[in-house]
Amino acid sequence: MPEILLTFHCARRDTETVTEAIRAVSNAPIHLCEKTVRGWDFGDARTAEKVAGLLQRNALELIVAEDDLSQLLQAVTEARRTLPVRWHAVPIVARGRIE
C-alpha cells in the first residue's frame, strides 16, 4: 500500500486540537515543527498577523497509508479550531533507518 507524508500547518493555539483529531483516527507518530511564515497575502491570518506579515504556525507531519488520507482530512475538518489549517501530501518514494 503506497505511503504519503501528510503535513498539516495550523495556528499554534490549534496544535493540541489538531493533534487530538489526528490521534483519534491514526496511531502514526506525529512530528511537530514550529514554523514562521513571512508574507502579506494570508487569507487565514489573524489581524495582528496580517499587519506584521508574520504567521506563527506549527507543522504536524506524519507518514500514513494513502488510503487513510480522507479519514484524516475529515477528522481535522471536524476539529474545533480557531483558524484554517493548510495541508499537503507527498508520496514516499523510499524510507528507512540508518544506524
The span from the CA of 28 to the CA of 50, in Å, is 34
Q: Give the domain extent around 22.
A: 3-87
* CATH number of residue 73's parent domain: 3.30.70.120
Mean pLDDT of 27-49: 81
The span from the CA of 19 to the CA of 61, in Å, is 10
Q: Which residues of 67-95 are buried (b: 16+ CB within 10 A; e: fewer)?
A: ebeeebeebbeebebebebebeeeeeeee
* 81: in domain: yes
* 22: in domain: yes
Q: What is the mean pLDDT of the chain?
A: 91
pTM above 0.75, yes or no: yes
What is the DSSP code (8-state) at residue 14? G
* Residue 56 pLDDT level (bands cut at 50, 70, 90): confident
Q: Is 79 helix (H, G, I), strand (E, B) or coil?
A: coil
Higher pLDDT, residue 44 or 94: 94
pLDDT at 38: 80
* 66: in domain: yes
Chain segment 12-23, per-residue pLDDT in tens:
999 999 999 999
